[in-house]
Structure 1
Amino acid sequence: MSRFSRSSPPAGPARPQPLAEVLGRTDAFAALRAGVEQISALERDLAQLLPDYLATSVEPGFIKDGALTLFAAHSALAARLRHLEPRLVAELQQRGWNVRTLAVKVRPKTEARAPRPKEARMTPIGAAALRTLSETLPPSPLTAALARMAARHGAGQSAGDGKKNK
């Protein structure tokens, strides 16, 4: 017999619930929520304290024993953060953070996606016009490029040869 009995009525669509409500149900979720809120507040403070070029490339980690871990996108930014450490620690302490030192680590950001290949298509009339143009121009790299483009888009024949003679 199947785990999913056919005689039981369908449960229906789940009711959307606010995330705060879901995270407040158990102690484990409450601890997770507190950690997420702390990281979010730390991100806001860092965005205000750091120059724009750093704020967009630095992610806060955790605070353990007074050491705040910051993840920089590359080593040059990590070196810059290390130079800013005394000022940044002092400003974070003024904002109420229990931070005595920074631990700066490099964590490269992953590229979003590889660019999609071009999908532009040309109409047969446009390709034929390119072929005709390439035939009327004097020999040059431009003429060769136009001929290749026309051939790639299906104008292997010249504009006047569009129909076969019988």
Structure 2
Amino acid sequence: MSRFSSFSKPFRPPKPQPVAEVLGRTDVFAALRAGVEQTAALQRDLAELLPDYLATSVEPGLLKDGSLALFTAHSALAARLRHLEPRLLADLQQRGWSVRALSVKVRPRPAKEPDPVKQARMTPAGAEALHSLSETLAPSPLQAALARMAARHRPGGSEKK
């Protein structure tokens, strides 16, 4: 006998729904949706108004009481944005934004992971050619570097000093 009644339905995960539909269901979500749409529209306008190098590095913050916060990744971009502030303010007002002041702030982005160290690969013939070349040179930093490189890539991979 099954421990589940014959009236229970098998579990089926809910169908995916568009975010806009979910956010429109309650007043709280509707307010959140309005804020998200406002930020997205502001981001689009900033991308059109700012030079390319700034548009990709500036994020809009809150628009509160006529003051708009703009965030940049570092102080050099913030300084450049402050130079453009009067023109940007006028352009935003012309596009219908009720902005009276801009506040430029630096919000560093998290450091990305460093690129992996390259591991050079050399054929045995190439390593032998480097070794032969290093033996023909007079003692010098170049000769020592070539000898170390050849030793690293020769079979066995150990350096000879």
Question: What is the TM-score with the length of structure 1 in the denominator?
Answer: 0.74
- CA deviation digits over 1:54-76, x for unaligned, max 9? 22222111101100001122223
Change (3 A) 1:122 1:32: farther
Aligned to 2:50: 50
Aligned to 1:88: 88
Change (3 A) 1:156 1:129: farther
Q: Which 5+ residue runs of structure 1 have no aligned equivalent?
A: 1-5, 158-166
Change (3 A) 1:17 1:130: farther
- Percent of aligned positions that are identical: 73
Aligned to 1:104: 104
Cα-Cα RMSD = 2.8
State how far apart, in whole Å, the 1-side matches of 2:132 and 2:12 are: 64
- CA deviation digits over 1:80-133, x for unaligned, max 9? 322322222121111111111011111123333211111233333432332223
State how far apart, in whole Å, the 2-side matches of 1:153 and 1:16 are: 54
Structure 1 contact 128–155 (Cα < 8 Å) conserved = no
State how far apart, in whole Å, the 2-side matches of 1:10 and 1:58 are: 49
Aligned to 1:135: 135
Residue 116 in 1 paired to residue 116 in 2?
yes
Task: Kindly report structure 1 stretches of 4+ aligned residues shifted beyond 6 Å.
Answer: 6-10
Q: Which 5+ residue runs of structure 2 have no aligned equivalent?
A: none
Question: What is the TM-score with the length of structure 2 in the denominator?
Answer: 0.76
